[in-house]
Homo-oligomer: A and B are copies of this chain.
Amino acid sequence: MVELGIEVRKGDSLFSVLMSMGHMFPSNCGGKGLCGRCRVRVLKGEDLLSPPSELERKILAERELKAGWRLACQAEALSNGLLLLEVPTLSYKLVVEGLERPVSLSPLIRSMVVEVPRPSLKDLTPDAERLLKVTGAVEIDFDTLRSLPILLRRRTGRFQVVLRKREVLNVRTEHGRLLGVAVDMGTTKLAAYLVDLSTGELLATASDVNPQIAFGEDIMSRVAFSMQKSEGVKMLQEALVEGVNKLITKACEEAGVKANNIYELVLVGNTMIHHSFLGISLNGLGVAPFVLATRNPVEIKARELGLLANRAAYVYLPPPIAGFVGSDALAASVASGLHETSEVGMLIDLGTNTEIILSDGDELWAASCASGPAFEGWKISCGSRAVEGAIDSVRVEPGTYEVAYSTIGGAKPIGICGSGLIDALAELYRAGVLDASGRMLEVPTPRCRRRDGVLEFVLAWSGETGTGRDVVLTQKDVRELQLAKAAVQAGAEVLMEKAGVRLGDLEVLYLAGAFGSSLNFLSARTIGLCPDVPFSKVRFLGNAAGAGARMMLKNVQLRREAEALARRVKFVELAVEKGFREKFLDALRFPPLRA
């Protein structure tokens, strides 16, 4: 949070004042009071502003309104004066955490305090049986059994017994916490969530790059790597386990708890991630027809995979859906609740691989689009991941071609990340720098120039940047992004055709994934990346896969629902769908501009 004094004049919108000062918000609605991402807190001068609008009352809680929170795009100055504001330094908390639907807390892990009777010459009942009798459990983790004779002889009296289903995981002489970890394993990024299983509270979040990236940027190059190298899968597995362990360590440190109290982990990821995490050969994913090794849920001891947790802890991996629709997409569906309602809805989880799930209110369809890593900033000349200094929103003034942008953390620009790229594409299209085919036109501004004969557009001059070099978007960058967006667009169209759902039928559009949730929907719609639905139908889920994983960690019933869902969803293999290729070629173009 930053405290900021600003001067306003009657009629000013807080949003535009802050924008003009270089403060930009990761707004998804372009200042229309819909996305709630331009929150500021008014510390002094509240009476200078218009009262909270209806839209604000919808989005902000009563408690927040009382504390002075406003949406900058809705607050208008009623007279001239000075304001003291608290402005969030851009926080990607929502994106990383994802939105959870409220679920009841019913985890598999529970504990009880019991008195275990001591043996005597008259009662020679084995240790295990005495423990099982007082707990009502039917089995004991083998490693815990190994030390049971020591544990039970450590003292007399009461023990805390940690249970999962009907298995004793641990026997303790002093009380310990019951922790769980949910992990969303993305192709590029890992995110871990440390949860207190007794309260449901999210104790800490940690995220980092997926170390598998050393073996290939995208899914297919890692699959190829694993097939060429004899120990390839093992290397992928070790990298991933090490990456997850680092996040667990980080989250535990942040929360001040011990990893030894983690008794369950729920992990989701795409199919390559899922298989390689478990050490399963990727050969079925390497060549068409792309086939999973298994689509069963997996429930094994965390120690078998070398994960940092209690020695008796379990991992649960919900099932993948099909060749390239993983358990992350399944978890995102669970988080959205799409499978539960009779709403006609679409879920798009944008990323290196984009999964689309469509519900016609009854049945569900799924497809996987090879959108590639362009949205993550890879293969783009000035591309960047969504880190501090990355340009994350862009405005281009038609006519003057002047550029306004914001960066993550407000730092000097170092590159441009996914949401910035989508904005740039849409704004350049809208300003006439790009035509509908994606061709860059030579417009009268020094920003538009040729290098080695190829056109490029300067978004930020070297003097403004953190690197001392211009941040540009080249014609080649535009082509990469067109390929990516066309894959998603065509996928969505095929799926809708299969399901007999028309654009007008869509009641809700869920956008998930770190990238999907930070993009400006209006820009995405402008270039055709998102279906042409009104903004009011859009719901941003943030990291929905992570949210779904957390929900399954907290509520075991959701696992059964997810498993049923995985078998229910109809997977559409786009590669063999008639019409996909044509739709893809058509989708390379941008849709006609709205008036």
Residues of A at the B interface (CB closer than 8 Å) are: 119-121, 123-129, 140, 142, 145-150, 153, 233, 278-285, 288-296, 300, 304, 322-323, 571, 573, 575-576
Q: Which residues of B contact A323 (CB under 8 A)?
A: 124
Given the contacts A149-B282, A150-B281, A576 and B121 also touching, CB distance less than 8 Å = yes
B293 and A126 within 8 A (CB): yes
A124 and B571 within 8 A (CB): yes
B280 and A126 within 8 A (CB): no
Query: In the assembly, what is the distance between CA of A279 and CA of B129, in Å?
Result: 18
27 contacts between A and B (CB under 8 A): A121-B288, A121-B573, A121-B576, A123-B289, A124-B292, A124-B571, A126-B292, A126-B293, A126-B294, A127-B292, A128-B294, A129-B294, A142-B300, A142-B304, A145-B294, A146-B233, A146-B278, A146-B279, A146-B280, A147-B281, A148-B280, A149-B280, A149-B281, A149-B282, A149-B283, A149-B291, A149-B293
Query: In the assembly, what is the distance between CA of A573 and CA of B291, in Å?
Result: 60
A124 and B279 within 8 A (CB): no
A124 and B280 within 8 A (CB): no
Given the contacts A126-B293, A128-B293, A293-B128, A145 and B280 also touching, CB distance less than 8 Å = yes
Contacting A290 at CB < 8 Å: which of B124, B280, B288, B295? B124
Contacting A119 at CB < 8 Å: which of B125, B291, B304? B291
Given the contacts A142-B300, A300-B142, A124 and B281 also touching, CB distance less than 8 Å = no
Q: Which residues of B contact A576 (CB under 8 A)?
A: 121
Contacting A120 at CB < 8 Å: which of B282, B289, B295, B296? B289
Query: In the assembly, what is the distance between CA of A146 and CA of B282, in Å?
Result: 9
Q: Which residues of B contact A278 (CB under 8 A)?
A: 142, 146
Q: Which residues of B contact A233 (CB under 8 A)?
A: 146
Q: Which residues of B contact A119 (CB under 8 A)?
A: 284, 289, 291
Given the contacts A121-B573, A121-B576, A576-B121, A291 and B127 also touching, CB distance less than 8 Å = yes
Query: In the assembly, what is the distance between CA of A294 and CA of B152, in Å?
Result: 13
B294 and A124 within 8 A (CB): no
Q: Which residues of B contact A294 (CB under 8 A)?
A: 126-129, 140, 145, 148
B124 and A322 within 8 A (CB): yes
B121 and A293 within 8 A (CB): no
Given the contacts A119-B291, A145-B293, A291-B119, A573 and B124 also touching, CB distance less than 8 Å = yes
Q: Which residues of B contact A283 (CB under 8 A)?
A: 149-150, 153
User: Smallest CB-CB separation from A576: which chain B residue?
Assistant: B121
Closest CB-CB distance, A302 to chain B, in whole Å? 14
Contacting A284 at CB < 8 Å: which of B149, B281, B288, B575? B149
User: Smallest CB-CB separation from A279: which chain B residue?
Assistant: B146
User: Smallest CB-CB separation from A280: which chain B residue?
Assistant: B146
A128 and B322 within 8 A (CB): no
Q: Which residues of B contact A282 (CB under 8 A)?
A: 149
6 closest residue pairs by CB, A with B: A126-B292, A128-B294, A149-B283, A149-B284, A149-B281, A119-B291
